[in-house]
């Protein structure tokens, strides 16, 4: 066990866990941030996607010991009021079915739009193909990403 001071959603949080513990389980089991989901544990589904220094990362693959001072953003901290342009677009298109994959989809989409504010269909497909939606909401995810891109409110 070791103590780690983590910078998560702009807050400094401390946990005492085994160094090999993936940040996914630190968030879920130790910090009560359960918006980040467990789907596969092997970097195949994207349900656990968070931002580390702004890039979309599979949290099931990152041991807590490797985080250091890097800033982590989870779905809970993507926006203060749940009104990030991607979240708004998701509501506008009523994307979710079961909803389980959607936090990961939103985090991947938000990072995509950060680095590429006007993605083409191909860009969206290439980036979003790492996130499985078992309910098959891909059609709406694509539409919502385009709406967010065109909303003019991406910072």
Partner 1 sequence: MTLVRTTFGRRAFIKRVGLAGGGLVIGFSWLAACKDATPEEVVMMPDEWFEINGFLKIGDNGMVTIMSPNPEIGQNVKTSMPMIVAEELDADWEKVFVEQAPLNTDLYTRQLAGGSQSIRQGWESLRMAGATAKHMLKQAAANSWQVPMAEITTAAGVISHEASGNSAHYGEMASAAAQLEVPEEVEMKENKDFSIIGTSRKNVDGKKIVTGKPLFGLDTYREGMLVAMLVHPPAFGMRFKSMDAASVKSMPGISDVFTFDTYTEGTRMSFADIATFNTKVAIVGESTWQVMQAKKALNVEWEEAPDEAYDIDLFGRILTTEYPSGKENSDSHSLGMAETATRKGNVVRKDGNVDAAFKKAAKVLERSYSCPFLAHNTLEPMNFYANVTEDHAELIGPIQTPEFMEKSVAARLGLTLEQVDIQMTRMGGGFGRRLYGHFLTEAAVISQTVKRPVKLVYTREDDMTFGNYRPAYYVTYKAALDENNEMTAFLVRAGGIPESPLFANRFPAGAVENYQAEEFTIKSNVSVGAWRAPRSNFIAGAEQSFLDELAEMAGKDPIDFRLELFDKAINNPVGENNDYEAERYAGVLKLVREKSGWNSQQNGKHRGVAAYYCHNSYVAQVLDIAMVNGQPRVDKVYSAVDCGIVVNPDAATNMIEGGVVDGIGHAMYSAITFKDGAPQASNFDKYRLIRHGEAPRGQEVHFVKNDIDPTGLGEPPLPPVMGALANALYKANGKRYYHQPFMSNKPLLG
Q: Are strands 71-73 and 2-8 parallel, antiparallel or unpaired?
A: parallel
Q: Which of 13, 34, 38, 70 binds ligand FES (CB under 6 A)?
A: 38
Q: Does 39 bind ligand FES (CB under 6 A)?
A: yes
Does 94 interact with ligand FES (rule: CB under 6 A)? no
Exposed, middle or buried, 71 (CB in 10 Å: 0-12/13-18/19+)? middle
Q: Which one among 26, 48, 72, 124 touches ligand FES, defined by CB under 6 A?
A: 48
Q: Is 137 in the site for ligand FES (CB under 6 A)?
A: yes
- Choose the contact partner of 71 out of partner 1, ligand FES, none; CB within 5 to 8 A by kind: none
Inter-residue contact 49 to 64 (CB < 8 Å) = no
Closest distance to partner 1 from the beta carbon of 103 (Å): 5
Strands 11-17 and 2-8: antiparallel
Residue 84 tokens, joined: 């990030």
Strands (E) across the chain are located at 2-8, 11-17, 49-52, 55-58, 71-73
Output 38 or 77, the one with its CB closest to ligand FES. 38
Under the binding rule (CB under 6 A), the answer on residue 96 touching ligand FES is yes
Contact between 44 and ligand FES per CB under 6 A: yes
Contact (Cβ atoms closer than 8 angstroms) between residue 136 and residue 98: no
List contacts with partner 1 (CB under 8 A).
1, 17-18, 20-22, 25, 28-30, 32-42, 44-45, 47, 74-76, 78, 82, 87, 90-91, 94-103, 106, 121, 124-126, 128-142
């Amino acid at each position: 066990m070791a103590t780690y001071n983590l910078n998560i959603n702009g807050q400094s949080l401390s946990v005492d866990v085994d160094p090999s513990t993936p940040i996914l389980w630190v968030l879920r089991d130790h910090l009560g941030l359960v918006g980040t989901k467990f789907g596969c544990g092997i970097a195949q589904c994207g349900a656990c996607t968070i931002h580390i220094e702004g890039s979309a990362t599979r949290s099931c693959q990152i041991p807590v010991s490797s985080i250091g001072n890097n800033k982590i953003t989870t779905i809970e901290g993507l926006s203060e009021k749940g009104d990030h342009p991607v979240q708004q677009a998701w509501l506008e298109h009523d994307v979710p079915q079961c909803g389980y994959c959607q936090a990961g989809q939103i985090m991947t989409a938000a990072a995509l739009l950060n680095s590429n504010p006007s993605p083409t269909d191909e860009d969206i497909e290439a980036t979003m193909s790492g996130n499985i939606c078992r309910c098959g909401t891909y059609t709406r995810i694509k539409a919502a990403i385009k709406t967010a891109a065109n909303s003019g409110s991406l910072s």
